[in-house]
A and B are shown apart, each in its own frame.
Chain A
């Protein structure tokens, strides 16, 4: 498509006004008749045997309708390794383990009842570091696997490694080598809207769960399995997603609280709502995994990369969720950020008695990019080569197939590097000797931009339904969670069908009406929805144009009767236009080869009504089309770390200028630049929103954020001591530039943008700090204290 009418425009998001005006219904706003409130009793130990649970006092509290423990209900197993139980039995493995639950007529009574549950524990020694958990003779956190077979270590069986080229040969060919240990902490998704759900059975035994989730269809499958565990077969599970106030990965798995609300609803026959407050969100939801990375890279005398070696150890916590699969995504940057011929990557995931971890924006990529892009600058310095020059020298090119088998059909990394350097005035601002205390730095990124295949389908379905008035009602299985999916999708549907974007109506997902979708993650929503919309839109147009052969002449005659005239009527035979001769633009059915005369245009709604309420003899026609788009990608072989897991790859570079106060260690960001190749920009506002939001989150990751814990207990469960940047901290300009490569697989040439923003921010800042004051911080977050210590160590050297 060459003449795009809406793509790339700067239009306000369709869901914006209702969200700002308080009209959008979040899980917090929803109640059901007769609804009860659930509350959960959490463990008071990180690792202990449960000796006895006494719920009698809780049972007696007026207003309590049910108190359940793992012994009262069938065992509901969940998690992708099925190592987690909705209500724990026998043993707790982390502070947040769910031991019992209450349903009561109001939330305060429910919480009061939870406080009345007495649990007797027999404490076990806890394992809080990966080293302790892997030590010889360490106690086993899970004594058996989910099938009951004994295990021999605390390793999570999620192997992920990669070996390509000849590492030893790469090392021999190296003139310079840089190596180091880099760490990233556990951090919180910190969504504005906290977690919650309502579970409800109808009188036929069908279950509806209103859930803050990013995976309505995988949740439907998980909840169906839970029903099976309850002995309920052949019943429907419907997942309805309310307005979502940000999820950032926290909705990528199903959670114990959801199963518990199902259990309580089943037990009481009433709808049961469980809603986390901010404390619970911090204390009882899974954060992003912490990781330790060892990275070694080499280059020849000219700065060409010769090899890259990465060893990752992740503290998984007590149960397995998607956090354990970060290494799968780390492989993308590990093997394919910059051209590097010989690569070794290996990841070890370890069970501990810390809080278990899950997905978060970027999914392993910010972690591994933190190591690669800081280490690369250390290598450049050793080689005496400017870091920008080194990146340009090893830059990915369009058409490259990388060591992991990633097929880089479009790649604007070079333009991103050059654009960032120009915006920072790199040649004049880089180098500590020029401006003491001030420095500039940059870091590059590659991210999946066309889905990320980690499940047997990475596809999405869409249904486009035209109503009698020319509106397009869209059912899509992905979730609008604040990222702007509906902005981008309304433009793409408008373009694909030929209507105005304001005539596109997109409802939040309901599994009862929307077609299957794997989930909204991996920056895939707009890419998949757009491709599905393109297919469905083309089918709609085809059918409309076919029917227009019959309907159009009559409608034109009505035009002529109403207008009383028709300019050019003699020259154009409107009665014999064939299907190839029609066009649909902005809601008007037109003839391609005729002028844009009023008598020749038929408003889409009128056409649809004519088709629907067919004259005598005809059959009525409605226009609804569905399409399922499955991207042309591979499910990688994780033990070999090979496979083209995404249909497109997003690139970008962030540049930053900082000032470092050498006395206090404070880092002040003066400005930031992000130049991004996300293919064609779909909705300018949504694209900018994703980048700004990602960068701000990246600044938090770089400078402030860390879930502190002591022996498994979280020490800062709230915004008082878990600091994220506010507007007052982003007191610097952020300049965004776009390199609009036109990706051949992307919808209208677009690639995913949801995660790119957060990926390179931390290394860009660290590199700028090094440029400013000559200290290299390898552990996030870069607190003033760490800077002061590093400066003192430098003086001591």
Chain B
């Protein structure tokens, strides 16, 4: 098996290569790509690695964060600004694969792979993250909803790469969390729930809830959110959110879990995440 392997060092060079080899595969950490190539025994004409592209290896902390597409997850999780402002992302990375995987895998790769259960997607959804795409034609930014279109399908166009994930600064009083369940510690999600809550005294303020592995794409749960927003913090509200979430999602049955259990478990995680956020806020139960 042989293919060309390119290691550009600038974004411009990378884009040039992408244009030159339309059938090439872009490789970041390779933790999805290599598995896929091994499985399909496909030999692409070229691999274009982003790991040495200087501009993509940084996390910029200005107004919000700009996380370069080549930053490994380990560096995302240990960055002080991520820990301070985006704890749900840290939660997701903490349960993500194994240390070896976290040393290689990237946020951008997780989104580009567009798995319904991508662990970083629900946190990025509740943080209103934007995907920064670049091609010879210029730059554009898409929301996660507009970027992930279906299982394995994204809005990436020919000649385009993801250069960064941008996350706006969080509201000062917001708390957030990501809870996920698998069959064993190292597993793909049966379901994962990210939630962000702002409290207004004993009342719930703005709330965002997103879930993975329960629909063709990771998604927000607006109906569940509206049950919570403006409601009194407490067990009753959390239970209503649980019930709503179970209905709102559209999971499938597979070898990992049945549809029924995914509904049940997602409800439990919604209830738990809200209860935990409210209690760390000093409100509710």
Using Cβ atoms and an 8 Å threshold, which residues of chain B touch A663?
268, 272
**Per-position 1/0 for B78-112, Cβ under 8 A of A:** 00000000000000000000100000000000000
Q: Which residues of B contact A728 (CB under 8 A)?
A: 98, 184-186
Q: 0/1 per residue, A353-387, Cβ < 8 Å to B?
A: 00000000000000000000000000000000000
| Contact residues, A718-732 vs B (CB, 8 A) | 720-721, 723-726, 728-729, 731
Q: Which residues of B contact A716 (CB under 8 A)?
A: 255
Q: In the complex, what residue of chain B is closest to A278 when comparing beta carbons? A: B38
Bound Cα distance from A654 to B162, whole angstroms: 53
Q: B260-285, CB under 8 A of A: which get 1 and which 0?
A: 01001100100010000000000000
In the bound complex, do residue B41 and residue A725 qualify as a contact, i.e. CB atoms below 8 Å apart? no
Interchain CB contact under 8 A, A723 and B265: no
Q: How far is the CB of B117 from chain A (nearest CB, A)?
A: 12
User: Chain B's nearest CB lies how many Å from the CB of A717?
Assistant: 11
Please tell me if B137 contacts chain A, counting CB pairs below 8 Å: no
How would residues 170 to 197 of chain B score, 1 for a CB under 8 Å from any chain A CB and 0 otherwise?
Answer: 0000000000010111111000000000
- Expressed in whole angstroms, the minimum distance between the Cβ of A722 and any Cβ of chain B is 9
Give the distance in Å from the alpha carbon of A724 to the alpha carbon of B187 in the complex. Answer: 10
Whether, in the assembled complex, A108 has its beta carbon less than 8 Å from a beta carbon of chain B, the answer is yes
> Does A704 sit at the interface, judged by CB under 8 A?
yes
> What's the Cα separation between A783 and B41 when bound, in Å?
34
Q: Which residue of B lies closest to A785 (CB)?
A: B261
Instruction: Give Cα A279 to B41, complex, Å.
Output: 13
**A2 contacts B by Cβ under 8 Å:** no
Cα A702 to Cα B264 in complex, Å, equals 23
CA gap between A720 and B258 in the complex, in Å: 17
For A181, what are the chain B residues with a Cβ–Cβ distance below 8 Å?
Answer: none
How far is A728 from B187 in the complex, measured between Cα atoms in Å? 11
How far does the alpha carbon of A108 sit from the alpha carbon of B184 in the complex, in Å? 34
- A-side contacts of B185, CB under 8 Å: 726, 728-729, 731
Is there contact, CB below 8 Å, between A704 and B184?
yes
The interface bits of chain A over 724-761 (1 if a CB of B lies within 8 angstroms of the residue's CB, else 0) are: 11101101000000000000000000000000000000
Q: Is A664's CB under 8 angstroms from B184's CB?
A: no
Partner of B41 from the list A111, A708, A731, A784 (CB cut-off 8 Å) is A111
Could you tell me if A723 and B184 are in contact, using CB atoms closer than 8 angstroms?
Answer: yes
Interface string of A751-790 (1 = CB under 8 A from B): 0000000000000000000000000000000011100100
Bound Cα distance A111, B185 (Å): 34
How close is B116's CB to chain A, nearest CB, in angstroms? 15
Interface residues of A in 296-320 (CB under 8 A from B): none
In the complex, the chain A residue whose C-beta lies closest to that of B261 is A785
Nearest to A730 among chain B residues (CB) is: B185
- Residues of B contacting A: mostly: loop
Asked if B188 and A664 make an inter-chain contact with CB atoms under 8 angstroms apart, the answer reads no
Contact A729/B184 with A111-B41, A664-B265, A664-B268 known, Cβ cut-off 8 Å: yes
Within 8 A of B (CB), among A321-353: none
Contact in complex: A708, B255 (CB < 8 Å): yes
> Given A108-B1, A663-B268, A664-B268, do A723 and B261 touch, yes or no (CB 8 Å)?
no
Residues of B within 8 A of A729 (CB): 184-185
A716 to B255, CA, bound (A): 7
- Tell me the bound Cα distance from A783 to B258 in angstroms: 11
Tell whether, in the assembled complex, residue B257 and residue A785 are in contact, meaning their CB atoms are under 8 Å apart: yes
Q: How far is the CA of A42 from the CA of B159 in the complex (A)?
A: 40
Are A715 and B41 in touch, CB under 8 angstroms? no
- Tell me whether B261 and A788 are in contact (CB under 8 A): yes
Q: Which of B1, B98, B255 has the largest number of chain A CB atoms within 10 A?
A: B255
Q: Does B256 reach chain A (CB closer than 8 Å)?
A: yes
Residues on A with beta carbons closer than 8 Å to the beta carbon of B268: 663-664
CB <8 Å contact, B184 and A666: no
A788 touches B256 (CB 8 A): no
Q: How far is the CA of A715 from the CA of B253 in the complex (A)?
A: 13
- Interface readout for A78-112 with B: 1 if CB under 8 Å, 0 if not? 00000000000000000000000000000010010
Beta-carbon contact of A788 and B264 below 8 Å? yes
For residue B257, which residues in chain A have a CB less than 8 angstroms away from its CB?
785
Q: Do B181 and A666 touch across chains, with their CB atoms under 8 A apart?
A: yes
Give the residue name and chain of the B residue nearest to A724 (CB): B184
Interchain CB contact (< 8 A) of A723 among B1, B98, B183, B272: B183
Shortest A209–chain B CB gap in Å is: 28
Q: Please, which residue of chain B has its CB at the minimum distance from the CB of A279?
A: B39
Instruction: Collect the chain A residues with CB atoms within 8 Å of residue B255's CB.
Output: 708, 715-716, 721
Tell me which residues from 27 to 59 in chain B have a Cβ below 8 Å from any Cβ of chain A. 39, 41
Cα distance, A664 to B257, chains bound together (Å):
12
A731 to B185, CA, bound (A): 10
CA distance A97 to B49 in the complex (A): 41
Cα distance A704–B256 when bound, in Å? Answer: 10
Q: Which of A721, A725, A726 contacts B256 (CB 8 A)?
A: A721
Q: Shortest beta-carbon distance, A54 to chain B, in Å?
A: 22
Closest Cβ of chain B: how far from A187's Cβ, in Å?
14
- A664, A721, A724, A726: the one within 8 Å of B181 (CB): A664
Residue of A with least CB distance to B35:
A720
Query: In the bound complex, do residue A725 and residue B261 qualify as a contact, i.e. CB atoms below 8 Å apart?
Result: no
Q: Which residues of B contact A783 (CB under 8 A)?
A: 183
Q: CB-CB < 8 A to B186: which residues of A?
A: 726, 728
Within the assembled complex, what's the spacing in Å between the Cα atoms of A111 and B186?
Answer: 31
Chain A residues whose C-beta falls within 8 Å of the C-beta of B265 in the assembled complex: 664, 784
- How near does chain A come to B20, taking the closest CB pair, in angstroms? 27
* Contact partners of A666 in chain B: CB under 8 A: 181
Neighbouring B residues of A720 by C-beta, 8 Å: 188
- Say yes or no: A784 contacts B261, CB within 8 Å: yes
Segment 1-22 of B: residues with Cβ below 8 Å from A: 1
State the CA gap A666–B185 with chains docked (Å). Answer: 12
User: Which of A111, A731, A785, A788 has the largest count of B CB atoms less than 10 A from its CB?
Assistant: A785
Chain B residues numbered 139-159 whose CB sits less than 8 Å from any CB in chain A: none
Q: Is the CB of A785 within 8 A of B258?
A: yes
Q: How close is A28's CB to chain B, nearest CB, in angstroms? A: 16
Residues of B contacting A715 in the complex (Cβ-Cβ under 8 angstroms): 255
Closest to A700 in B: B184
Tell me the residues in window 276-304 of chain A with beta carbons closer than 8 Å to chain B beta carbons.
279
Q: Report the minimal beta-carbon distance from A65 to chain B, rounded to whole angstroms.
A: 20
Name the residue on A nearest B188 (C-beta).
A720
Docked complex Cα distance between A720 and B31 (Å): 13
In the complex, what residue of chain A is closest to B267 when comparing beta carbons? A663
Find chain B residues with CB under 8 A from A725 CB.
184
Interface string of A691-725 (1 = CB under 8 A from B): 00000000000001000100000011000110111
Give Cα distance in the complex from A34 to B270, angstroms: 61
Q: Are A704 and B188 in contact (CB under 8 A)?
A: no
Find chain B residues with CB under 8 A from A108 CB.
1, 41
Shortest CB–CB separation between residue B264 and chain A, in angstroms? 6
For the complex formed, measure the closest distance between the CB of A704 and the CB atoms of chain B, giving whole angstroms. Answer: 6
Chain B: minimal CB distance from A721 (Å)? 5
From B269, which residue of chain A is reached at the shortest CB distance? A664
Contacts of A731 in B (CB 8 A): 185
- Min Cβ gap B35→A in Å is 8
Contacts of B98 in A (CB 8 A): 728
| A 244-287 contacts with B by CB, 8 A | 279
- Set of chain A residues within 8 Å of B183, measured between Cβ atoms: 704, 723, 783
Bitwise, B221-257 to A at CB < 8 A (1) or not (0) is 0000000000000000000000000000000000111
A27 to chain B, nearest CB (A): 20
C-alpha gap A731/B186 in the complex (Å): 13
Q: Please indicate the chain B residues that have their CB under 8 angstroms from the CB of A784 in the complex.
A: 181, 261, 265
On B, residues with C-beta under 8 Å from A are 1, 39, 41, 98, 181, 183-188, 255-258, 261, 264-265, 268, 272
List 13 A-B pairs, Cβ < 8 Å: A663-B272, A664-B265, A664-B268, A666-B181, A704-B184, A708-B255, A716-B255, A723-B183, A726-B186, A728-B185, A784-B261, A785-B258, A788-B261
Beyond A721-B255, A731-B185, A784-B265, 11 additional pairs, beta carbon < 8 A: A111-B41, A666-B181, A704-B183, A708-B255, A716-B255, A720-B188, A721-B256, A723-B183, A723-B187, A783-B183, A784-B261
Query: Which 10 residue pairs are nearest across A and B when measured between Cβ atoms?
Result: A728-B185, A785-B261, A708-B255, A723-B184, A663-B268, A723-B183, A716-B255, A721-B255, A729-B184, A729-B185
